Every structure is written in structure tokens, then in C-alpha cells.
Structure 1
Amino acid sequence: MRRPVRVLLWIVGLAITAYLMVLTLLWSQQQSLIYPAPTKLNPLTGGFEHVTYRTSDGLDLAAGYRAGERGKPTIIYFHGNGADWVSSVNATDRLVPMGYGVLAAEYRGYRGNPGTPHEDGLYRDGRAALAFLATRGIAAGDVVIIGNSIGSGVAVQMASEQAPQALVLISPFASLRQLVGEKMRWAPTGLLLRDRYENAEKIVSIDAPLLLLHGNADTLIPDTHSRQLERLRDDATLVIFEGKGHDLAWHDEAEEAVLSFLQTLDKRGNAQ
């Protein structure tokens, strides 16, 4: 065999080996890539009760809860993957003064909680959070579910299992599988990805008012995902925020949009 051909085959073999090694690394490390739980914890905030609830697989999860005024719905807030439940308190600080209750839900493996995060596990965590509210006398119909970023996957699943008063998704994806495929077109992500969070498949069957919020400068999850979800629901309300990125949930404009949406629901309910 001529030397140039041998060199070419060697280069091709090396490239294939490197590619397979990268795929192996992605497969083995995907949980830490999808769920980068913060190592630096947000400082505790006042006004919230520290509560614990047990999941169906036996984990005791610590979270934060603040009861609302009588007659007001309670918000259950599922945060993004790089945050913790205290960030949910900050993201609802304009809603609490208006009388809404808030359960700042937490996940396994976050903020010192036991367990390792994964899709089925986070769904179990969400169900445990809703069950906790039930022990406080709060029915699903009196709950507004809010999900930010990867929390949108938990929020959509919970809304598909329960019948909440409303569903709010902030910077959501149509599906994690789709998003990762868009980011890594060179890899067979459909085969590699274990956690998928198929929001688009589930959202069509959810019978609850839907608010979608997204920033058009979001480089992590493009606003095309919220636009895709809106097209699946004729009754959805979509608000696009000019110049806002993936930190939209902590901007006053986002909270004001949620508040306006909830007040509209309150008025509609009082008129019936």
C-alpha cells in the first residue's frame, strides 16, 4: 500500500476514534451537562417556611413555601437547571405582595437534597410538591404551575397529569431532544439522549390557560421554541421580550406579565 494512502487511512481512523470518544463522553456525562446544579447556594430569604416533602421513591426534599391570602391561587414554581428554590422566591417577589401563595419547589440533587436528577426523578419531585400542597388544603384547580427553562418540562408534565388553574412557561423548549439536536447537529443526539422532556407532544392535551414568555435574545433556548408551542395551542398567550436573554424570569417585565395574566384569570373567574 502506498504511503499516502496509509497516512490517509490513519488520519481517517484517528478522526473516527476521536468522534466515538466524544460521543462516549457525551453519553456518560449527559446528566451533569443537563443538570448543572449550582455549587454556590443562593442565600436564604425571609418570609418563606422551610418545608420537606417525600417523593414516591423515598427521597425527602427541602423546599420553600409561603401561604397565600384566602381566595388567591398558589403558584408552584419549577426553576431552571442552574438555579435553586431561592431563585424562585426572587422570581415571584412581585406576586407575593399581591396575595398569591408560592411553593418554591426543589429537585433531587439540588441545594443539598438527596438523589441524582433525571427526567423521571424530576417528575416524581413535581408530584411530591403537588401532594404537599394537597396536605395544606390546596387543590390542583387552585394551583398555577410556572416552569422556567428546564422547569418547563416538569411544569408541562405536571399540568398534563393534574388540572391546574393555569400554566406559565418562561423560556421553555419545545422538547429537550429537539433543542439538543439543534445545538449539536453533528451528533446522533436522538440516540444518545436519555432525558427528552417532550413538551410539544404534551401541551396540546392540557386543558388550562397557557402563558408563554420568551426573550428574543435568548441564545440558550431560542424564542422559536415558544413560538412553536404557541402554534400548537390556539388559546395560548405569547409575549416576546425585546433584547432579553435566558435570565428573563428574573426581570420585572416578566413578573409583571405573569401578574397581568393571573389578574385577568381572577377577573374571569369572578365574573362566572
Structure 2
Amino acid sequence: MVRPRRVLLIVLSVFAVVYLGLCVAAFALQRPMLYPAPKAPIPLPAQLGFRRLPLTGEAYVDVLQLPGPPGAPTVVHFHGNGEQLLDQHDLGTVLNQNGLGFLAVEYPGYGASPGQPSEQGIYAAAEAALTMLRGQGVTPEHTVLSGRSLGTGVAVEMARRGHGSRIMLVAPYTSIPEVAALAFPFLPVSLLARDRFDTTSKAPDITLPVLIIHGEQDTLIPVEMGRRLGTRFPHATVETVPGAGHNDVLEQSGLERVRRMAVFALGGS
């Protein structure tokens, strides 16, 4: 006859093995979950403003560049984790029509760009694009950093490195571990996360004007995260969109929110 204490030890041992297995799986699969990496035809159409930006060695990422009027600011945009560069043409066109230059940067392994995405790899691609822009004569004072969802963490890191004069954040998150903890509250995600994009810790040291736009019905990145970040940046304006979720926060009001971004990028409050 098996004693109750032995049964308890067996149950606890099985639970520990299963839990450890879940942790190992979460660690191994986190990047495919964080970076679903949509694919695009190769090459992207050069006549629409797409071209390749060389990185180190034979690596490269694609960029989309729509030059603005002489002396106008250029919006440098970083897209969400389920998007790709090809999806940014409409946004760039509207901003361009409102008197701005536009530069969007692909992530390694996304769209038509080779490689594997990671936090440091995305930062390297972003910095290479900003260096290219500066080589074209666009100064940091004429550079407006923009990000949506995952890309907000990229925009904030580039601001921390001194690359821009203003920041626009659409559906931003506090950090990847905090977002992951909402989906997997039973896992020690803070210990397992390889890519952190920790905007919360960086925000207090960034004194640039910041515009935050967040959908009030966002179920992926709660609007409370956007509001909390608004208290962390020294100079932030938070605008929430009634009825909008995560994927339609800019689209919910037609072109109204994108035009709002254009006004801010041109120096408005």
C-alpha cells in the first residue's frame, strides 16, 4: 500500500517535471512567438521607394524611403511584430502627403530581409538606417522617431541613443516581460525573457516630446500600459482612442490619427 506522503512526493515530482518542461519550451519558443515574421516577395518594388540597406558582412535589411520637402522632418518608423515593411507604404504615403519625409526599416528575418530577428539585431538595423539618414544630411533635430506595438521599444531605444527630436508611440508596452506575464502568469517570464525592450526603465531619461496613442479596447497591450508610460516620460501626451483595439488604433478614425501624428511630427503639440 502506497503511503499518502509518498503519493504527495510523486505528484509534486511530476508537477515539477511538467513545469520545468513548460519553462524550457517557453524559453526555446519565445522568439518565434514574439517575432512571427511575415514574408514578402523578393525583391520589393524599387519604384515604390523600397531598397536594400547593407549591414555587416553580407547581411542587409530592406528600407522604404519617401523623401519629404527640403528641410522637412523625416519620420523614421518601426512596425509591429505581426507587420512587415511592405505594410508601411500607406502610412508613409499619408505622412509624406502631409509634408514629411518617411523612412521605415525592416527587421532581420522579416519580409524580404534575411536573418533571424532579435532585440539587438533589430537595434543594429535601426541604427544603420538612422546613420544612413544622417549621411543624407538629415540631422537628429529633423528626425522624428515612430513605433507601433513592438516597434515602440525600438523607437525608444533609438531616442536613448540620441537619434531623434520627437517620439510617436502607437500602442506601446512597458516591457516585453510584462506583456508576456499577462499571457503566461504561471511562468517566470522575467527570468526567461531573452529580448526585453524595457521602455519603462528608459523613459525617465528621455526628455524629448512624446506622443502616445493607445486604443481603449486593446486586449493585447492594455491601455493602462500606455497611460503608465505617459507618467514615466518627462514630456508625454497620451491620447486614447475609444472603441479601438490593438490592430485598428490608427485605422479606427480613418486618417484622423495619422494626420494627428503628422501635426506632432511637424512640431505641433
Q: Is TM (by shorter chain) over 0.5?
A: yes
Local SS of the residue matching 1:24: helix
Residues 69-109 of structure 1, C-alpha deviation per residue, up to 9 Å, x if partnerless? 12321111100111101222223342121121111210101
Specify the alignment match of 1:161 in structure 2. 161
Residues 8-41 of structure 1, C-alpha deviation per residue, up to 9 Å, x if partnerless? 4333322221111111101111111111112466
Local SS of the residue matching 2:155: helix
Write the letter of the residue equivalent to 1:149.
S
Contact 1:91–1:249 at 8 Å: present in 2 too? no
5 Å-filtered alignment, 1:1-272, equals 2-39=2-39, 48-56=48-56, 59-248=59-248, 250-251=250-251, 253=253, 255-263=255-263, 266=266
Distance 2:28 2:230 in 1: 34
Cα drift, residue 201 of structure 1: 1.2
Write the letter of the residue equivalent to 1:79.
H
Residues 112-145 of structure 1, C-alpha deviation per residue, up to 9 Å, x if partnerless? 3122111111110110110121232211211111
Contact 2:88–2:104 at 8 Å: present in 1 too? yes
Contact 1:42–1:86 at 8 Å: present in 2 too? no
Go from structure 1 to structure 2 and tell me whether the alpha carbon gap of 1:43 and 1:230 turns closer, same or farther (over 3 Å shift): farther
Q: Which moved more, 1:180-189 or 1:124-133?
A: 180-189
Q: Which moved more, 1:13-22 or 1:77-86?
A: 13-22
Q: Which moved more, 1:74-83 or 1:109-118?
A: 109-118
Distance 1:60 1:44 in 2: 13
Write the letter of the residue equivalent to 1:177.
P
Distance 1:50 1:143 in 2: 19
Go from structure 1 to structure 2 and tell me whether the alpha carbon gap of 1:211 and 1:162 turns closer, same or farther (over 3 Å shift): same
Write the letter of the residue equivalent to 2:117.
P
Residues 240-262 of structure 1, C-alpha deviation per residue, up to 9 Å, x if partnerless? 01111111354163853343354
Residues 172-203 of structure 1, C-alpha deviation per residue, up to 9 Å, x if partnerless? 10111222223322111111111111101112
CA-based RMSD of the aligned residues comes to 2.6
Go from structure 1 to structure 2 and tell me whether the alpha carbon gap of 1:237 and 1:163 turns closer, same or farther (over 3 Å shift): same
The TM-score normalised by the length of structure 1 is: 0.89
Distance 1:261 1:83 in 2: 19
* Structure 1 residue runs without a partner (length 5+): none
Q: Number of aligned pairs?
A: 269
Q: Which moved more, 1:102-111 or 1:54-63?
A: 54-63
Write the letter of the residue equivalent to 1:82.
G
Distance 1:188 1:179 in 2: 12
* Structure 2 residue runs without a partner (length 5+): none
Q: Which moved more, 1:91-100 or 1:198-207?
A: 91-100
Contact 1:145–1:166 at 8 Å: present in 2 too? yes
Aligned-pair identity in percent equals: 31
Go from structure 1 to structure 2 and tell me whether the alpha carbon gap of 1:117 and 1:268 turns closer, same or farther (over 3 Å shift): closer
Contact 2:140–2:164 at 8 Å: present in 1 too? yes
Write the letter of the residue equivalent to 1:38.
P
Go from structure 1 to structure 2 and tell me whether the alpha carbon gap of 1:233 and 1:254 turns closer, same or farther (over 3 Å shift): farther
Distance 2:112 2:211 in 1: 31
Distance 1:175 1:60 in 2: 27
Local SS of the residue matching 2:178: helix
Local SS of the residue matching 1:263: helix
